[in-house]
Amino acid sequence: MILVCDLGTSYFKLAMVDPSGQLAGLCRIRPPVRQPEPGWMELDARAFVEVLADGVAQLEAEVPGSVSAVTAVTFATQTNSFVLLDEGGRPLTPIVLWPDERAAAFEQEYRGRCLLPAAALTTGIPAVTRQYMAAKLLWLQRESPHTWEKTAKICLISDYLTLVLTGRHVTEAGAAGLTGLLDVHRCRWSAELLASLGIRPDCMPTPVRAGTELGPLDRCEGFGGPTGRLRLSPSCRFVVGCLDQYAGAIGAGNTSAGCVSETTGTVLASVRCADRFDSSVRPGTFQGPAFADGLYYRMAFGEIAANYLEWYRQQLPQAIDFERLAEMADRMEPGAGGLRLKSGVALTANRETLKLEDVFEGLRADHTEGHMVRCIMEAVAFALGEQIRALCGDDLPTEIRSAGGGARSAVWLQIKADVLGVPVAATECAEPTCLGAAILAEAACEGKSVGEVAQDWVRVKSPHLPRLEHHRRYQAMREDWTYGSSGRAGGAAI
């Protein structure tokens, strides 16, 4: 078995993946996030280990004997969530999670310090915000100087997992890339950016590529203690995983230059694998190192996603499952009776107070549930089209792999294919992020390429082919559906 720790924001998932690439066990566990001040979000570092131990125990109960059969452990991770440690490796702070807003007052100063010549060409980051780790490090320097003076190690959340299990201060280059402090071409921290923010280079973990094996746990300083609580075998090998969006791309078979995948969940995210860094990509596009030398992943994010469908479902007087809603949408003609989503709606911040007329433009009394659901599905499809054009320009892929909750709806997949004019195919695995991390571990332990393992393990359903007449109709509507992608580090998809 391969044990995958998927370190999401709302939930941690722990998965067992068997030697054929099938999901043998899965548990979801909510970490005890606390908010000691308005806008703050923290997770106690000791509770972090206990949550993982509880998850492993749940897996063992679900699949007896699976933990002792684990031959490799790896992760998929959010980023810009971090913890500071002292010389002895003891936590000086809780794990400060990426949505934490405590650095709001430092956002402009942070942006100013990062406006170095050609910084975006070095880091692959189009813009930085208060939610990046470095902004909060500025806050700590000012608000808690005694803590900052004692800091010997800075760990992203997955770096802390690595340190606990192996004793090594190592980071995955893709997750590190989204801090805006990494030279993504050399996979090294930018000395210039660190100096501009007052961060000592010796505090930073060593960047390595995703899929780097750190050896069996019995050779690691950290074996015993927290590792023992996870009940892993001494011969279990630790393989560095990757950023969750990259893992999801790998789990969808997106492992070679030109491949494109998308995830429709709480956010909409598209990923393209490329064999070069593009200095002319559109604003809002992130670029970072992939699992192999010379490979990059390009990403675009947006907030018009399945969250709108969930919000609308909650407005209905009685509960209707998503499958039934999709059937209603499928009976509607393209264009949803003239309905559009309004741009600039802050759905996440105002979801409790928004009304239908606040979200839908052109709403009439004769519009039905089917019209509104189709409107949302079409809006996401058009937003996806903008992301694909931002990542690919006019060089559209021959197929788009689809993952996330939206991939379970055949109606939605067909709408995406019709809007984009490109075949869209879903994968069979319900947890592509966990599968992608497991593929990295399998490749490292078996001496295979990531592409080889993905070809064996990723199972793809029949693609939804674009219907020419529908595509033409959607092309005529395209100018009315312009949303763009928003660059936010972290997020439920990061």
Q: Is 84 helix (H, G, I), strand (E, B) or coil?
A: strand
Q: Calculate the alpha carbon distances from 85 to 81, 152, 155, 284 in Å.
A: 14, 6, 8, 33
Identify which has the larger pLDDT, 458 or 482. Answer: 458
Provide the Cα torsion 11, 43, 200, 214; round to 10°: -50
Query: Can you give the pLDDT at residue 265?
Result: 86
Amino acid 143 reads E
Q: How far apart are CA 267 and CA 298, in angstroms?
A: 16
Q: Is the pLDDT score of 228 beyond 70?
A: no
What does the pLDDT look like over 137-148, one tens digit per residue? 999 999 999 999
Q: Is the pLDDT score of 219 beyond 70?
A: no
**Which 8-state DSSP code applies to residue 34?**
B
Query: Can you give the pLDDT at residue 122?
Result: 93
Q: How far apart are CA 436 and CA 13, in angstroms?
A: 14
Q: Are 431 and 26 in contact (CB under 8 A)?
A: yes
Q: Is the pLDDT score of 393 beyond 70?
A: yes
SS3 content of the chain, % helix, strand, coil (to 5): 40, 20, 40
Kind plus residue range of the DSSP H or E element containing 60: helix 45-62
Q: How far apart are CA 291 and CA 202, in angstroms?
A: 24
Average pLDDT, the chain: 91
Q: Is the pLDDT score of 386 beyond 50?
A: yes
Identify which has the larger pLDDT, 187 or 266. Answer: 187
Strand partners, 237: 72, 216
Closest residue by Cα to residue 124 from 295, 305, 303, 302 = 295
Residues in the chain: 494
Q: Is 461 helix (H, G, I), strand (E, B) or coil?
A: coil
Q: Is the pLDDT score of 212 beyond 90?
A: yes
Q: Is the torsion defined by CA of 200, 205, 209, 210 positive or negative?
A: negative
Q: Is 360 helix (H, G, I), strand (E, B) or coil?
A: strand
What does the pLDDT look like over 321-364, one tens digit per residue? 999 999 999 999 999 999 999 887 878 767 788 999 999 999 99
For the segment 432-436, the average pLDDT, to the nearest whole number, is: 96
For the segment 278-288, the average pLDDT, to the nearest whole number, is: 86
Query: Can you give the pLDDT at residue 280?
Result: 82
Q: Are 134 and 204 in contact (CB under 8 A)?
A: no
Query: Can you give the pLDDT at residue 482?
Result: 64
The crossing angle, in degrees rounded to 10, of helices 369-392 and 322-330 is 90
Query: Can you give the pLDDT at residue 20?
Result: 95
Query: Can you give the pLDDT at residue 310?
Result: 92
Q: Residue 196's CB: how many other CB atoms inside 10 A?
A: 18
Q: How far apart are CA 1 and CA 331, in angstroms?
A: 44
What does the pLDDT look like over 358-375, one tens digit per residue? 999 999 999 999 999 999
Q: Residue 24's CB: how many other CB atoms inside 10 A?
A: 17
* Strand 182-183 versus strand 170-172 pairing type: unpaired
260: which 2 tokens?
A: 């494109």
Q: Is 460 helix (H, G, I), strand (E, B) or coil?
A: strand
Tell the burial category of 50 from Cβ atoms under 10 Å away from its Cβ (0-12, 13-18, 19+): middle
Q: Residue 425's CB: how many other CB atoms inside 10 A?
A: 20
For the segment 179-207, the average pLDDT, to the nearest whole number, is: 96
* Strand 296-302 versus strand 268-274 pairing type: antiparallel
For the segment 255-261, the average pLDDT, to the nearest whole number, is: 96
Q: How confident is the model at residue 494 (pLDDT cuts 50, 70, 90)?
A: very low
Q: Is the pLDDT score of 176 beyond 90?
A: yes
Q: Are 369 and 229 in contact (CB under 8 A)?
A: no
Q: How confident is the model at residue 226 (pLDDT cuts 50, 70, 90)?
A: low
Q: Is the pLDDT score of 220 beyond 90?
A: no
Q: Is the pLDDT score of 281 beyond 60?
A: yes
Q: What percent of the chain has pLDDT over 90?
A: 79
Q: Is the pLDDT score of 491 beyond 80?
A: no
Query: Can you give the pLDDT at residue 117?
Result: 75
The set of long-range contacts for 100-104, using a CB threshold of 8 Å and a minimum separation of 24, is: 100/39, 100/40, 100/41, 100/42, 100/131, 100/136, 101/39, 101/40, 101/130, 101/131, 102/37, 102/39, 102/40, 102/136, 102/139, 103/130, 103/131, 103/135, 103/136, 103/138, 103/139, 104/39, 104/130
Q: What pTM did the predictor assign?
A: 0.92
Query: Can you give the pLDDT at residue 147?
Result: 97
